[in-house]
Every structure is written in C-alpha cells, then in structure tokens.
Amino acid sequence: MLSSPLAFPVRLQEGCMTVLDETVLPFEEKYIEVRTLEEALWVLGSMKTRALGQVLLFFYACVLFQDQFSIDDIVDKFKTVRPTFDFPLLGSLFADGLEKEKDGKTAVEHFIGYFDSSIRRMAKILAALLPNPANILTICNVNGALVYVYEELEKIGKEALFYVCETRPYLQGTRLTFWELCKNNIPCRLLCINQAARLMTENKINAIVTGADRATKKGDIINKVGTYSLARLGHYFNIPFYPLTHYPKDIDVDAIEIEERPAEEVFMFLEGNFDKIDSIYPSFDITKSEFVTRPIVVMPSPDY
C-alpha cells in the first residue's frame, strides 16, 4: 500500500495540533506543535501547510478553540490570512457536523474519513478516463491524490509517468508533489512550467491533472497561479484537462478576491534584500469551464 505524509499533514493531539512543516520538505520531515489560534494563523500565513492541510488546520482549530472563539470568529480570522479559500464553507460544514455528532472531534473525524474515501473514489474515476500509458502533467500539490491515482492505474493495468511543474515561487511541485511521488517509487519527472509547451509540442503529455481551491457548478475553477496557462495550452494542443474539485458552488469566480502574497516572496530562494524591488505574486488564477475537459468532483456540494 502506497502512502504519503501529505495525505494527513495536520493531526489532532491532546490540547494541540501537529502540523507537517511543508516549507522544509524534502530535506526534513519536521512537525510544528500548534497550541493557540494565533499560532494556527501563523502556520497558515507562512505557508507551513496549504491545500488539505489548511482544511484540517481550520477544523481542528474549531475543535480546540471553540470555547474561546465562535465559529464565525475563526472563519473571519482564517479568511483574513488566506482570503481566496472558502473558509465560510468549512465553517458551515463544522457547524452542521456539530448538530449531527456528539462533539467537534467526532464531527471532524467523520469529515476526514469522508474526504479520504471521496478522494479514493475520484482516483478510480480518473484512472478509467486516463489513456494508457498516461503521461500526466500536474502543478502544485493535491495532498496524496496522485498517489491514489497511480494505485488505481496499476490495478487496471495502465502505466503512468507524472510530469511535475516546479510551481514557483514556493516550489510546492518540487518539494511536495515530486517528493511524495519519488517517496513511493512512482515514475515522475520534474520540469519548469515554461517547458510545458515544448513537451506538448513533442507529444509527451496526454493529460493534465490539477487540484482546485474553488470550483463552480459550471465547471470554472480557481487554483494555484499557473494552472490557467496549462489549461489554455492543453486546449490548444487538444490535451484533456481534469481538475480535481470539491464542493462546487453556484458562484461568480470573477468576484472572488485573489490573494496577493508579499512581493518579496518572489525572491525567497535568492540571497539579498529585495524589499525595494517591484514584483507581483498573485497566488491563484481562474480557469473558466471552456478550458476544462471534465471536472472530477471529489466531494459534491453539501446540503445544509
């Protein structure tokens, strides 16, 4: 059985959370103890965890700090730090879980089990759609999902090779996606995103698979910046684009605030003082449904 620490990067312990520090991977597997809401917000803002990690961080924060803060207060504080992600939805889910379960911890355990089983079902659906051999281009990280996809491909006798974009400037593709694939001996190659068109021209890519931080019922998505360019390239080269989406909503993606990270983060892996040099870092971009072949819905929209 293949596995990855990124599938469950945040865990609840007695009185605190332990968070896998994704900023020091792949050189070190280090865990941070979080005991206060302020520490949780620091972990979130400093990109120590993201994607599924920020979902688990929010849920466990609600469990640990619900006697000190209301759910709405925690939603507001998380959204101030990472405005593009749908923390109000998570707040609604947690509140709904509290009505159905005896306590917050049990509700979160139910959600985690549902998330994991949903991702495994999604992996099975996607594996059936992918060609054989599947030469899959991806960007950023989707927390263990690609490991599940590879398992499902093996079950039905399909071969796979993952082309992993490095994902500037935090290099999540290099430090997270590529690391967890290598850790499981899954065939993969690392590339810069500006090499993608060259590979497509050479017919080395036959599918694009990404995550999605937000999704609409029309099939639009918001994901890590760089996703849109890959979708447009895929559309031009007639390569299917499959985003893994969760909880699609009837929303206008153009109205969602796109988080602007601190400009100096563009230079984060260079030595020197770049505070006075102009740069921009929008963290996400929007891909409209016309460039999406088929969204793979990990979790359907909840009724609450």
The set of catalytic residues is 213
Burial 70-84 (b: 16+ CB within 10 A, else e): ebeebbebbbebbeb
3-state DSSP assignment of residue 41: helix
Q: What's the rounded Cα separation, in Å, for the pair 54 and 72? A: 17
- Within its chain, how far is the Cα of 130 from the centroid? 21
Q: Which tokens belong to 215?
A: 């999704």
Alpha-carbon torsion angle 234, 139, 217, 93, nearest 10: 170
Alpha-carbon torsion angle 251, 257, 261, 266, nearest 10: 70
Residues composing the chain: 304
Residue with token string 């999540």: 172
- For the chain, first and last CA: distance in Å? 35
Radius of gyration of the chain (CA): 19
No. of helices (H) and no. of strands (E), the chain: 10, 12
Residue 52: CB atoms within 10 Å: 24
Q: List C-alpha distances in Å: 274 to 63, 143, 169, 283.
A: 40, 32, 14, 19
The pair phi, psi for residue 225, each rounded to 5°, is -55, 135
- Within its chain, how far is the Cα of 119 from the centroid? 12
